Amino acid sequence: MNVKVVNNARSIESTVDKLYTSYLLNRNKINCPETYIFRGQKAASRFISNYNFKSKLIYKPLFGSQGDNIRLIERPSDLENVENQTNIYYFQEYLDNSPNYDYRVLVINNNDNIKYFYMTRYGETFINNFSKGAKCIKEKLNEDVIKLAIKSSRLLNIDFCGVDIIEYKRQYYVIEVNSIPAWKGLQKVESANISDYITSYLHNLFHENIRNQNKV
């Protein structure tokens, strides 16, 4: 039976695994922070001990959300504060764009009828998640930010996602693509009811699926 699933398992897998997301984006010429991954604490410690720290690093759980257990690595001893249950150590170059801020673009339906919402998030720390106290503001964004978010969603074949983008040295970098995004912070700065757009999209998909089944 031909049933449309939003988001489908393949799309979710491609974004929940941050390493795979970075690989796909880099392969398609989309800027991402320098990324390093190691199996085992010994290999990670060796890398950190030899790293020159011309730029800081951010440790992220390979599978994670809401900004939980993200750590800024400024010196080898900081690795001791990392909670790791997978034995996989994922590091990204820290792009310092002080004051701390990034852009979140929520993309709904990556086709000709695409709809998007956006905001700027100012973090209390280097973590700009709303769940970690970031202040959300509706500001006009450079059109390139929107285009980059849409391009990323299409590349990963995601119908509904949140794309986090940071500006660093006059270039835009995709930090993360979230296939299970929350929009509580975004709704606080958006007058339109985002849930209505999502419901409408799913409603249209349902009727489209019924029509396709009737053609069989």
- Per-residue pLDDT of 13-31, as tens digits, reads 878 777 888 889 999 999 9
Domain residue spans in the chain?
1-32+97-216, 34-94
- 209 pLDDT tier (thresholds 50, 70, 90): low
pLDDT per position as a tens digit, 113-158: 889 999 999 998 888 888 888 999 999 999 999 999 999 999 988 9
- 214 pLDDT tier (thresholds 50, 70, 90): low
Q: Which residues lie below 8 Å from residue 137, measured CB to CB, with a gap of 6+?
A: 119, 120, 121, 122, 189
CATH number among 2.30.30.100, 2.40.110.20, 3.30.1490.20, 1.10.287.40, domain 34-94: 3.30.1490.20
CA distance 158 to 11: 6
CB-based contact 37:19 (threshold 8 Å): yes
Amino acid at the residue 168? Y
CB-based contact 183:116 (threshold 8 Å): no
Q: Which among 136, 114, 137, 133 is positioned nearest to 125, based on CA atoms?
A: 133
Instruction: Identify the helix (H) or strand (E) that includes residue 103.
Output: strand 101-108
- Which token pair is 205? 């998909």
Q: Which residues make beta-bridge pairs with 173?
A: 166
Furthest C-alpha separation in the chain:
63
pLDDT per position as a tens digit, 52-85: 888 899 998 877 666 678 999 998 899 888 888 8
CA distance 180 to 167: 23
Backbone dihedral angles phi then psi of residue 35, each to the nearest 5 degrees = -125, 140
pLDDT value, residue 1: 55
What is the dihedral angle through the alpha carbons of 150, 153, 156, 157, rounded to the nearest 10 degrees? Answer: -100
- Tokens 């280097």 -> residue: 126
Counted residue by residue, the chain has a size of: 216
CATH 3.30.470.20 fits 1-32+97-216, yes or no: yes
